[in-house]
Chains A and B, each alone.
Chain A
């Protein structure tokens, strides 16, 4: 009897380890043979710990399972898929409404098992790529329409073409797994739930551009992801999926994990490269772009986890299949993350074009508190706050930009009516002041002035004069900052004033 219990750190954070142990103990007591397989999470985080039992019809789900419920559920027939359950997990409305390409295996397979990966469609993308020339692989990725999932939405194929065309003794592939944005956790869930797909994606990137070494810059706040990826890399080496002569080809590529050290700015790509080189994480001026002069001055692909993890599917099924999802110039699927004050939080992988309201209300079920939704912040701490009357906005890079907002890494944080939006605007400035790399004045000093000015506005001191001052300051930060840390902090601040101006009176 196979029983699946997630080992994803979010599931474990609400008791999945204890539930797994209890199922084992309880089964032993009644003399039933169970094999407990620890998977990633399906992403229905409100149902965690979510226990699944294999039956001839498919996997039956139970959740959220509290430790005290385990014995009762087993007595009622859990091990045979009986008793009060959620039914077949794949058939749940919430799962059926998604198009899972990148997250296909997350929550399904054992993330520690290379064999499981291979038996569930893994390695097909790389094997296909190895039958093509590097230029053809780059072309395929370009044609898929894949744009960087880390925030800026730059076309991945074009970046790779630049690295392929650069002449150098050594090239690198660097995966940006810093995921410092509040409200984002898809990179973490992918690495914990299906690390081999990232390894495969990075290997395809290496083949496409001629790189021999890869680094994953993974934040220290994610110790479980570090462990999962490190174990997967070891398993991949043992399988001959990394190292020399990969899959009998001439390809040589090896991969290393580097752990960050608690600096939000190290998610910015040039700052990340500085950090990988062992320096303070200050932002480099561009040009030169990392594609030409990146890690240790060598041509370097820098991509987000989800960008790289999307590549195996694209190669395996073809660019056209991937590009058939989405809208406008936002093609394929994206992994949206629902967090904050939300009833059904988790990850939702769908084609671009789904609306913000469908995500928050239909899939997310509104707030957890049961009070009305007042604001959502999309795209992390540098993203805009949007009111409910913008819920018909489709998730699309251009549509969001036109609305003065950004999709970013796809994180959506929900707030109910108790939120103080002037407080949130102040937090955005304070966060920028705290996390600034310190290189330029508009960001380093401007953010501190921003906090002070918002404090005066909230205290009712010269309110209208200080609002004008704040707007000027935002303008200066937008225009005068070297990177998007200082350049985008005005986005949450200005959107809060624009949509929730009433909160800025004393």
Chain B
């Protein structure tokens, strides 16, 4: 099968099929495939769901059900920087809520939202395993501890 390289949708579909086919032999392949698709293509699109279902011989509804159950899987493109702020108990004990409010005010975003210019996705998370050095945040997978509003502004400034 050849892919029409001028058609982005067809390119995407071919790539998803390739990823799914590569991982299909794993035991319990669906979640590894979804992670790989998101890693490679930024999000798990509705059109990807049908392709993955086809490769794994599952119903579209089944795959859709899994994609929507897990918070990690994004259904739309995210920002170039993803900032996740821990809002769980240990970080709350050292001011996580105030930090969250600060960032929301600064960016005009609420949790789960991406800025219109596509630069930043803001999200909350419940525990990053840095509970002795809170408040904790994760920026594109990198962990930061003891984050004050000023430090967060600096981190965001660098990320832009």
Contacts and interface: CB of A to CB of B under 8 A. Distances in A.
- Chain A complexes with chain B: yes
Interface residues of A, number: 63
> Interface size bucket, B side?
35 or more
Nearest to B127: A182
Interface stretch (B7-15, B99-107, B113-121, B140-148): B140-148
Contact of B129 (A48, A185, A281): A185
A215 B27 CA distance: 10
B28 interface: yes
A184 B133 contact: no
Contact of B71 (A13, A215, A263): A263
Contacts of A276: 27-28
A366 interface: no
Interface string A237-268: 00000000000000000001011111110000
B28 A340 contact: no
Contacts, number: 149
A13 B145 contact: yes
B35 A340 contact: no
Interface in A408-436: 411, 413-416, 419, 424, 427, 431, 435
Contacts of A222: 128-129
Contacts of A368: 94
Contacts of A224: 143
A419 B34 contact: no
Interface string A433-473: 00100000000000000000000000000000000000000
Contacts of B28: 258, 276-278
Interface string B28-71: 11111011000000000000000000000000000001100111
Interface string A204-230: 000000000101000011111100000
A1 B135 CA distance: 36
Contacts of B89: 182-183, 340, 377, 381, 413, 424, 427
Nearest to A381: B89
Contacts of B22: none
A440 B26 CA distance: 31
Residue in A48, A223, A262 with the greatest tally of chain B CB atoms within 10 Å:
A262
A338 B132 contact: yes
Given A185-B132, A280-B66, A340 B94 contact: yes
B92 interface: yes
Given A45-B132, A258-B31, 12 more contacts: A13-B144, A48-B133, A180-B126, A184-B131, A258-B28, A259-B32, A263-B70, A263-B71, A264-B126, A278-B30, A340-B134, A435-B126
